[in-house]
Structure 1
Amino acid sequence: MTPLRIAYSPCPNDTFVFHAWAHGLVEGEPTPEVTFADIDVTNGLAERGELDVLKISYAQLPWVLDGYALLPCGGALGRGCGPLVLTGPDAPADPAALRGRTIAVPSERSTAYLLFRLWAAEAVPGGLGEIVVMPFHEIMPAVRDGKVDAGLVIHEARFTYQNFGLRCLADMGEAWETATGLPIPLGAIIAKRSLGAERLASLTETIRASVRQAWAAPEATRDYVMSHAQEMDPAVADQHIALYVNDFTEDLGEAGYAAVRGLFDRAATQGLVPAVPFELLS
């Protein structure tokens, strides 16, 4: 069996999930060729049809479903784990004050940005100002230093934004869950349809096995996780994993698929993504 080429981020949830597979610890599956890249890069790789398996943003999925299948495991969905809109401590606490303001975002093809656009359509009458794309680790310093008026943050920023003297203006996950009652779809695992149905099924079981091994022996993942965690505090890495690796990581299930369909339905209605043939999701 030929090793697959896979790309995922260096974030703790991804390295935790894929540790066993990446180290040849899943029986019957060759060790993959791993590329580490932030989500904006993997989104682009998927759009160009590069690599066999990728972690991408759900917001990218409508553009790549013809060539890639959504796998029902390995990704990031959940509750209480959505992106945050941050402002400086002296900024108005009213979301409407973002009208015409400059907002830093990690990507314009990210689920964070999609949730933000859905929220802002109602919360910011008159519309936003300039959208500035920058690497997610640069966003909080930019807000702190007054280079932008607000920032949309993801990942471990949920646990560290107070260290920059910032405050949370709005929680995109909370807004989504209040409006829909559904979990928040953030990151998806996709694989090339050309691998064939049988290979996709075995790959799904490989990823599930990798997740279960990580849960069974989390200490075995520690060195791998921390070596890629970009100087993150180990306690923050543990919080990150606990938040983003959950039951939906093992299996999307009915609620997970409902969340994905709900996101695309709402986003397509506002013209933010192409209409998605839902039969391509399963």
Structure 2
Amino acid sequence: MNKLNTITFGHSPDADDAFMFYGLAKEIVKIKGYKIDHKMADIQTLNELAVNGELPVTAISAAHYPNVSDHYRVMSCGASIGRNYGPVIVSKDSITMSKLSGRTVAIPGSHTTSWLLYQIFCPTDITPIFVEFNQIEKLVSSGKVDAGILLHEGQILYKNWGLKLVLDLGKHWFTQTGLPIPLGLDVVNRNLGKDLSFKVTNSLKQSIEYAHNNEDKALEYALGFGRGIEKEDGRKFVRMYVNTDTVNMGLEGISSLKRLFSMAVDKGIIKTLPPLDIVQV
């Protein structure tokens, strides 16, 4: 028997990521001639690994792509895109966006799209505290920081935690641009070559479609990574970010990425626009 080559897919244990990869994780979707390994880590760790192109395939924050475009191409599938919703800035007490000046704000990683959106739209004369995303709710609730940006399930659960909305960054983005907001991407290493890049991208698309067609089983798998979220809350969150845009971001998704990077250049946050050569399936 011929020994299979191994391709490692990096992704987070977040419900939407795990849901997407269900078909691949259960080996229902395969790439002929290859064994697939899964490296599960938080998005900040994956962002850091991508800087040197360490993984063949990985999830990254959309905002991080300009930093890694020399190593990676964007896959047409696997994107987490919010349509008039996204990361939320919350506080313990009711404050407005303009009142964030001079305050401490907990940020879920320096490479995250939420931090880029904050820098584009919000007062930047703050003290940012970069922490793991799952620490932010407690920091805000305890008053150790004045505000924080919540990702993932926190976007729909913050009211249950007694926190107040300062700004929905995804909704604000939509108000300003009329476009959906690309938050996360899946990317494939340029050194895989054209043919294998296509096969890898197509396998993820098939995995997403399989999860959609077997939602309950895929959801049970995705929620099995210890977040403690209720099943129906998990279903709501997954449906927000694993949808038709995730199967293929389309021209609108590409336009949204271009707009995000263009606004970042205009604000002096990044120097130049990255090349957007998409692996289409």
Question: Shorter chain as normaliser: what TM range?
Answer: over 0.9
> d(CA) in 2 for partners of 1:27 and 1:230?
28
- Which moves more between the two structures, 96-105 or 73-82? 73-82
Is residue 135 of structure 2 the alignment partner of residue 138 of structure 1?
Answer: yes
Q: What TM-score, normalized to structure 1? A: 0.93
Aligned-pair distance for 1:279?
Answer: 4.7
Is residue 228 of structure 2 the alignment partner of residue 231 of structure 1?
Answer: yes
Aligned mate of 2:114, from 112, 115, 119: 112
Aligned-pair distance for 1:229?
Answer: 4.4
Q: Do the aligned partners of 2:52 and 2:71 also contact (CA within 8 Å) in 1?
A: no
Aligned mate of 1:21, from 3, 20, 24: 24
Could you give the per-residue CA deviations for residues 235-280 of structure 1, whole angstroms, max 9, x where no partner exists?
2211111100011100010000000000000001111123124354
The corresponding residue for 1:4 is: 7
Is residue 206 of structure 2 the alignment partner of residue 209 of structure 1?
Answer: yes
Question: Residues 12 and 106 from structure 1, CA distance in 2 versus in 1: closer, same or farther, beyond 3 angstroms?
Answer: same
> d(CA) in 2 for partners of 1:103 and 1:110?
14
Is residue 254 of structure 2 the alignment partner of residue 254 of structure 1?
Answer: no
Q: After the TM superposition, which segments of 4 or more aligned residues of structure 1 sit over 6 Å from their partners?
A: none
> d(CA) in 1 for partners of 2:54 and 2:241?
26
Q: Do the aligned partners of 1:81 and 1:244 also contact (CA within 8 Å) in 2?
A: no
- 1:154-233 equivalences under 5 Å are 154-233=151-230
2:120 match: secondary structure: helix
Q: Do the aligned partners of 1:65 and 1:280 also contact (CA within 8 Å) in 2?
A: no
Q: Do the aligned partners of 2:69 and 2:274 also contact (CA within 8 Å) in 1?
A: no
1:4 match: secondary structure: strand
> d(CA) in 2 for partners of 1:279 and 1:186?
16
Q: Which amino acid aligns with 1:113?
A: W
Could you give the per-residue CA deviations for residues 105-137 of structure 1, whole angstroms, max 9, x where no partner exists?
1011100110111111xxx3xx43210011111
Aligned mate of 1:37, from 36, 41, 53: 41
5+ long unaligned stretches in structure 2: none
> d(CA) in 2 for partners of 1:70 and 1:279?
7
The CA RMSD over aligned residues, in Å, is 1.5
- Which moves more between the two structures, 176-185 or 272-281? 272-281
1:243 match: secondary structure: helix
Aligned-pair distance for 1:80?
Answer: 3.0
The corresponding residue for 1:148 is: 145
Question: Residues 80 and 31 from structure 1, CA distance in 2 versus in 1: closer, same or farther, beyond 3 angstroms?
Answer: farther
Q: Do the aligned partners of 1:102 and 1:128 also contact (CA within 8 Å) in 2?
A: no
Aligned-pair distance for 1:47?
Answer: 0.5
> d(CA) in 2 for partners of 1:112 and 1:155?
11
- 1:43-82 equivalences under 5 Å are 43-82=47-86
5+ long unaligned stretches in structure 1: none
1:73 match: secondary structure: coil
Could you give the per-residue CA deviations for residues 83-104 of structure 1, whole angstroms, max 9, x where no partner exists?
1110113x43x22111111100
1:3 match: secondary structure: strand
> d(CA) in 2 for partners of 1:85 and 1:150?
7
Q: Which amino acid aligns with 1:43?
A: N
Aligned-pair distance for 1:164?
Answer: 2.1
Q: Do the aligned partners of 2:105 and 2:129 also contact (CA within 8 Å) in 1?
A: yes
Q: Do the aligned partners of 1:7 and 1:34 also contact (CA within 8 Å) in 2?
A: yes
The corresponding residue for 1:103 is: 105
